[in-house]
Chain A
Amino acid sequence: AQSVAQPEDQVNVAEGNPLTVKCTYSVSGNPYLFWYVQYPNRGLQFLLKYITGDNLVKGSYGFEAEFNKSQTSFHLKKPSALVSDSALYFCAVRGEGATNKLIFGTGTLLAVQP
């Protein structure tokens, strides 16, 4: 069965420092991977996705993610964190078979300190 793990409930980083939010996945076929961000009392906003091609995917707001097949990881990164990046981040993988449901991780709260 497809699954996604986000091993860190919370990540703390100082403004201006690089940030990494970790995600590992388990799939039986080719993985389709997504990152979303959720601000308080808001819906999810799409950041980026990996379907195929380059392992480094660039997305919105300066975020990027690196697909690593051997480590089954898809970590989210940003070279320089902003206080406004503080939010809840979700990694997701597309479900297998004919369904197109997304299977989400439990989320990682990113706190960027000024």
Chain B
Amino acid sequence: NAGVMQNPRHLVRRRGQEARLRCSPMKGHSHVYWYRQLPEEGLKFMVYLQKENIIDESGMPKERFSAEFPKEGPSILRIQQVVRGDSAAYFCASSPVSNGQETQYFGPGTRLLVL
């Protein structure tokens, strides 16, 4: 059973460009979570999605960031007009259910560098 897949693993963008980060959850998992890890910091929650629904986006910056989890295909975290402060590791996690007791399984992350 393949784990959570994320691509690309590394992404370099210039200021003002768009970044698209993809996450394929583990087989059978329909709940996806995105977290951001800034240098020398812990992980911060960004958004929680189920298929075709955003459940909690309380950690998402108000502008330039969006996320989706379509019926078919991976979850996408999109950052428009990137700035240097967006440079971070972005991790996706998935779980099969969402009852508070479930384990979230993490992908390897996408490391975004904004020049």
> Could you name 10 residue pairs across A and B whose Cβ atoms are closer than 8 Å?
A43-B106, A44-B106, A45-B106, A99-B48, A100-B56, A100-B100, A101-B45, A101-B56, A102-B104, A104-B42
- The reply on B98 being an interface residue by CB < 8 A is yes
Interface flags for A68-107 (1: CB within 8 Å of B; 0: not) read 0000000000000000000000100011001111111111
B binding-site residues for A, Cβ under 8 Å:
4, 6, 31, 33, 35, 41-45, 48, 55-56, 58-59, 91, 93, 95, 98-109, 111
- Whether A95 and B42, one on each chain, are in contact in the complex, defined by CB atoms closer than 8 angstroms, is no
- Whether A44 and B100, one on each chain, are in contact in the complex, defined by CB atoms closer than 8 angstroms, is no
Number of A-B residue pairs at CB separation under 8 A: 67
Known contacts: A99-B48, A99-B58. The answer to whether A94 contacts B100 by CB under 8 A is yes
Closest residue to B108 on the A side, CB-wise?
A43
- Whether A49 and B103, one on each chain, are in contact in the complex, defined by CB atoms closer than 8 angstroms, is yes
- Whether A100 and B106, one on each chain, are in contact in the complex, defined by CB atoms closer than 8 angstroms, is no
Contact of A32 among B45, B93, B101, B106 (CB under 8 A): B101
